[in-house]
Structure 1
Amino acid sequence: MRVHKLTFAALAVAAGLSLTACQSGNDDAAGGQSDPSSTSTSTSTSTPSSATGSSGSSGSSGSSGSTGSGTAGGSGTATGSNANAKVGKCRTADLKITAQDNTIDGDTDGTVVVTFTNDSGKDCTISGYAGVDLQTNAGTTSAQRTGQAATSAVLKNGKSTYFPISYPINNTGGSGVRITGLVVTPPDETNSVTLAWPGAASLPVSDSAGTPVKVGPVGSAGQGG
């Protein structure tokens, strides 16, 4: 009987040890499962930082990543905007407009050269024909375009461009049609300026239809001619 009791006791001890080892193994397994959970949380927390870094990297390498594109486009957009911006048209208020006589002795027609000087503080574009009207004691005479091809040009701030007005000289000996003023309207504008007429005092009287006064396109006359 003692032998059997000892055997049962030994079995009980062994069973207890086995149960303890099993519980310990389960606890270790449970402890091992908490690590991935912790790592996943850490990864999730760091993901925004990682994503931002990735965008920054792709941007610096010239990729089209949103952050990189926005950052790289900061100065790029401004530069591109300046480079590609359209230069506005020259307006009447942008221009200092003057006129001077440029008739050459011996010519059958007189010539007045009108100067457009850009004093707006910025560049502007100008092209085409200006509107030209001569005020006279017999009414207004509008100049006719010569038909010469017009070119477009950027008129830099502080720079000038010119166009000619030609008209018949009054050699009849009579008083003719007296010119009292010159009205100039820049191309593509509706606002005009009135200048003193610098040319001959009068036009010959003519019964022919049309106007004897001609105007060339802007840029078709050099300074003083």
Structure 2
Amino acid sequence: MNYTRSTALIALGVAATLSLTACGSDDSAKDSSSKGSSSASPSSANGGSESESGSSSQGSQTGAAKPGLGEDTASRPGAPKTGGKATTGGKVSFCKTANLAISASNAAPDKTSGRIDITMVNRGSTTCSATGFAGVDIKDADHTSNPIQRGHAQPRITTLKPGEAAVFNLAYDIDTTGHSLASPTDILVTPPNETHTVSLKWPTRAGKIKGAYTDVEVYPTHTTE
């Protein structure tokens, strides 16, 4: 009986020890799990912030890479270039009357075709445009002024550097009968796109005008080259 009790007590002691050991291992496992989760939490929090930061950075980079953002518009075809004359499209201002030396001469090719050349020399310091039709009136001996109509011709680009010349012509038929009623004394010239007029003497060797002043035509400017 004593032996049996001793054996039973020993068995109970072993069972209790095993139970305590199991409980301890569970607690340590829980502590370990708890510590693991708590130590992982800051890591994941930092990872989350890094992920968000990376996402934000990536988003801004993606935004910068969108077509049309951050591009050099001057490199696009047709876009205006900066600097110099390109900012104004390369346009040149029209020649001012004050900067032109203007003269008239007889240039009739034969005895029946009248032609007067009116030359304009750019005496300014910059390049200018004399493109188009000049305004022309012919003053008669009776002190009347007669506007001259334009001939059927298309204007040509006429750009003058300092010292260069442009010419336009007055054309008419020469009267060979000796009964012309026109007695021109002066030619009033207003350069293309200008409002200031100069008065030139009618060339002395120019033939008489056949018909009326309405039969005289003015043609657009062109360079002498």
Per the shorter chain, which TM-score range? 0.5 to 0.7
Q: Which residue, 17, 30, 36 being the options, matches 2:25?
A: 17
Q: Find out whether 1:38 has 2:46 as its counterpart.
A: yes
Alignment of 1:149-160 (within 5 A): 149-153=153-157, 155=159, 157-158=161-162, 159-160=164-165
- Who is 2:6 aligned against? none
8 Å contact kept, 1:170–1:176: no
Q: Which runs of 5+ in 1 are unaligned?
A: none
Match of 1:223 in 2: 224
**Where does residue 96 of structure 1 map in the other structure?**
100
Give the Å deviation of 1:162.
1.9
1:175–1:202 contact (8 Å) kept in structure 2: no
Residue-by-residue CA offset, 1:121-171 (whole Å, 9 max, x unaligned): 3564823x3221123342102223232x21442625445432111356688
Q: 1:199 deviation in Å?
A: 1.3
SS at match of 2:201: coil
The one-letter code matched in structure 1 to 2:111 is D
Give the alignment of 1:187-198 within 5 angstroms. Answer: 189=193, 191-197=195-201
Name 1:73's counterpart in structure 2.
Answer: 73
How has the CA–CA distance of structure 1 residues 93 and 44 changed in structure 2, closer, same or farther, with 3 Å as cutoff?
Answer: farther
Corresponding residue number in structure 2 for 1:112: 116
Runs of 4+ in 1 over 6 A off after TM superposition: 168-171, 173-176
SS in 2 for 1:153: coil
Alpha-carbon distance in 1 for matches of 2:55, 2:128:
50
Q: Partners of 1:120 and 1:48 in 2: how far apart?
A: 59
2:5 maps to none
Matches of residues 168-179 of structure 1 in structure 2 within 5 Å? 172=178, 177-179=183-185
Partner Cα distance (1:8, 1:125) in 2: 119
1:90 is paired with a residue whose SS is coil
Q: Give aligned-pair identity as a percent.
A: 15
**Contact 2:107 2:115 (8 Å CA) reproduced:** yes
TM-score normalised over the length of structure 1: 0.65
Larger radius of gyration: 2
Write out per-residue CA displacement over residues 152-195 of structure 1, whole angstroms, 9 at most, x where no aligned residue: 42625445432111356688599963514422241xx3613213
For residues 197 and 92 of structure 1, what CA distance do their matches in structure 2 show? Answer: 21
Q: Summarize the Cα distance change of 1:181–1:125 in structure 2 as closer, same or farther, 3 Å threshold.
A: closer
Larger mean CA deviation between 109-118 and 10-19 belongs to 109-118
Letter in 2 for 1:223: T
1:34-83 deviations in whole A, cap 9, x for unaligned?
Answer: 43432332243344544555566x5xxxx82512x2xx324554439939
Q: 1:215 to 1:123 in 2, by over 3 A?
A: closer
Counterpart in the other structure of 1:182: 188
Is the alpha carbon distance of 1:65 and 1:182 closer, same or farther for their aligned partners in structure 2, counting shifts above 3 Å? closer
Residue of structure 2 equivalent to 1:131:
135
- CA 1:33/1:211 → structure 2, altered by over 3 Å: closer, same or farther? same
1:64 maps to amino acid: P
RMSD between superposed Cα atoms in Å: 4.3
Contact 1:136/1:181, CA 8 A, preserved across alignment:
no
Distance change (3 Å), C-alpha of 1:65 and 1:163 = closer
8 Å Cα contact 1:132-1:184 kept in structure 2: yes
